[in-house]
Structure 1
Amino acid sequence: MHRTATPTRVAARATGLSKVYGHGETQVRALDTVSVEFRRGEFTAIMGPSGSGKSTLMHCMAGLDSVSSGSAQIGEVELASLDDRRLTRLRRDKVGFVFQAFNLLPTLTALENITLPMDIAGRRPDAQWLNTVVDTVGLSGRLTHRPSQLSGGQQQRVAVARALAAQPEIIFADEPTGNLDSRSGAELLGFLHESVRALQQTIVMVTHDPVAASYADRVIFLADGRIVDEMREPTADAVLDRMKRFEAKGRTS
């Protein structure tokens, strides 16, 4: 079924977004007038050479870094309009994060780690939703285990469940399979893909891995701080071919 790009269907949006570091001769333009939308219920991968602006774009869209010019929005909220307190609250209530480092507290059980952000915010988890998330990521039999009793793949599943449990508008994942072996990485990507399908979650993932990108609905390619291409229904081979062409162009330019 075709989705119409109306504001209610957009989880996050960048419009003419630029990010500049430094001044004068040392100035670096990490992002250069980037405009992109991330639709609800869609899995987007961001790829590009080292230094292309992938993580900078994600950090600006997630409110972890300020923009130099242009606009970054979560839903209809303009991030630049928020003071630190309201921005912190928006990140807590509307945004989920999954990073390479699992960032789990070793003294807490898997379940306690999953519900920790809601506990800090003074919110009670939705029991039905929490059960759905735990089942989706395959953690039902591991909730009483502490991180040291879990494999790397299981720890990362806890991190994913923690991001999903608060029902955020959007989840940003920065190289989430970077510290996992290929089997655990494939399991995690399957869980992320399933959370989009079964839970209508919105996920934006930065990755350098064409296989990881093939789990997404679309891939956005960055080079020199600009979006230079987009691919829908990606395959690992097609993504790898596209990346090789970018690298070859970079060597000849």
Structure 2
Amino acid sequence: MGGSGFLGDELVGQSAADGHVVAATYLTRPGTAAGADWVPLDVRDRTAVVDLIGAFRPDVVVNAAYRQPDWVTTAVGAAHVAIATSGNGGRLVHVSSDAVFSGRAITYAEDSVPDPVTPYGAAKAAAEVAVQAITPTAVIARTSLIIGDGGSPHEDLVHALAAGGMHGVLFTDDVRCPVHVRDLAAALLELAASDRTGIHHVAGADAVSRYELGCLVAQRDGIDPVRLPYGRRADTDLPGPLDVRLDCGLTQRRLRTRLRGAREFLR
């Protein structure tokens, strides 16, 4: 589910390259990855979700579908996918987010209780509860900012800010654990093939601010970091957590896939 997004496209590509038969869904337009049967689907439509999964009867469903401002897609849609997957005997890997945390504790283990402070974080937390209740054998994988070799929203933002084509700043006090899309997709597929269940943290090894991350992207892409505007999120009225770091140590010890830090994969 959500196959046409940045993460979904990588999941489709890796799955197809591994020789799996892949069906990928999209809301508005198909993704670009080859090797998949692209199918339109709105996860808000429970009947459509049940019918589609019932028709394909997949061994594994990875749900990467979300829309930040839309509770029904992010929370209710996740429940629809869990119901349909459970009803057909499939294995579910649900992609969640560090947005389920407030940042008050800064570092969060996998057994930390969600305490979201934004509507999106609340929707993601509700989705986790629904998935755990409906499909106890599912994997719920919390991740952070997803970066690639170009093309991710944060990388596009860095280029736009450096070119002066967008107003805004990169925050020096907004800290996350960015993960490379290739590492994240590989880890999700590895978890799907395992007997693991429950919450797993799947993010990068480095905690960096959005500004430091922007500077790393700029240096990789031959852009002078001096061109990047910066500021403090604490000085704005924007809602949301500041410093959220996912402790991925437990999951990393169980994975062959190495979750690199941004200072390594953007070097």
Q: Same fold (TM over 0.5)?
A: no
Instruction: With the length of structure 1 as denominator, give the TM-score of the two structures.
Output: 0.32
Q: Which has the higher contact order (CA 8 A, sep 6+)?
A: 1
